[in-house]
Amino acid sequence: MELTAKAVGQLALVSRSEVYAKFEIQKAIEWLNGERHEGKRHAAVLILRELALYAPTYFFPTSAIFF
């Protein structure tokens, strides 16, 4: 699961597409706020971590949700 999240982060870096990064961020946030399916929540946290590392420009505006 960690390698998949890393691949999502690297895709966001290589593609430099705001649409892709924002789509993945919104999907991960939905998984965190949805029903308590721990597998999805874990995947969402891993994906958000990688997007914060590889696409911080797109992640920063949504960081207020977490802090």
Which pLDDT tens digit goes with each residue over 30-67? 988 888 888 889 999 898 988 888 888 888 888 777 66
| Measured CA distances, 23 to 20, 26 (Å) | 5, 5
pTM greater than 0.85 (yes/no) = no
Phi, psi (5° rounding) for residue 11? -65, -40
Residue pLDDT, tens place only, 14-29:
887 788 888 888 998 8
Mean pLDDT, rounded, for 6-17: 79
